[in-house]
Amino acid sequence: MSASRVVSSAGVTGGSNEGILRYTLWERIVHWGAAVTYIYNLITGFAFWSPYLFWGAVIVGGGATARFWHPWVGLVFVVTLLCMYQMWRRDMAPTEADRKWARVMYFYMTNEDEKLPPTGRFNFGQKLFFWAMWYGVIGLLLSGMVMWFNEAIPWSLRGLRYLAVAVHVISALVTIGGFIVHVYMGTALVRGSLTAMISGEASPQWAKGHHRLWYDEAVRGGPAKK
């Protein structure tokens, strides 16, 4: 059953102890699995990039250990992203409401949500992050496979190795930028987002204030009033 349609009794009656189910248990497991594996690869990737950041490899067991596990953990991260794609690809499709929201995105960044038009389960900013990570990880995967099995590439095609390094760095920077914004928005700017990803529930007030179209669909079963 879709999390956007499951409502506790408190979500309907206005009780204060429960709320609207925003993320199922499986969605939360996948999300936190992606977070842990991404952070591991981020730490070890920084260690490989600069000797000044090699302490990252030290804290996970040393350079050899980090070198062995970095690509394998990266594959696990790719699997979690594939699961997210399967779960959320329809929710992440752009809509007319997103286009209206995008035109006044400034109010989202300044935490003036009351000035934003109503949005669905995920707003346009969250969708941008999702697709940036999706395409960024595709770049990381393809370039990472070339770097992982570089000895299988003939010397005559060595340019492919150099290209893979450049693509890996650019893709990493895209995902790192998105990750930083995602963490900041979810913990500091939009209070309640992190709680929902931990407990799975959002209060009716939070849902109505931040995702009015989703709230209206979940609670009333109809379109939101604008």
Q: Whole-model pTM?
A: 0.84
State which H helix or E strand residue 158 sits in: helix 158-184
Which helix (H) or strand (E) is 166 found in, with range? Answer: helix 158-184
Does residue 223 carry a pLDDT above 50?
no
Q: For residue 201, which phi and psi values (nearest 5 degrees)? A: -115, 150
d(CA 22, CA 215): 10
The residue assigned the tokens 């930028």 is 177
CA 172 to chain centre: 14
Smallest CA-to-CA distance from 67 within 57, 82, 77 is with 57
> Looking at the predicted structure, is the pLDDT value of residue 6 above 50?
no
Mean pLDDT of the chain: 87
Cα gap 167→81, rounded to integer Å: 19
Distance CA 58, CA 32 (A): 24
Between residues 106 and 27, the one the model is more confident about = 27
The CATH number that domain 3-7+19-219 falls under is 1.20.950.20
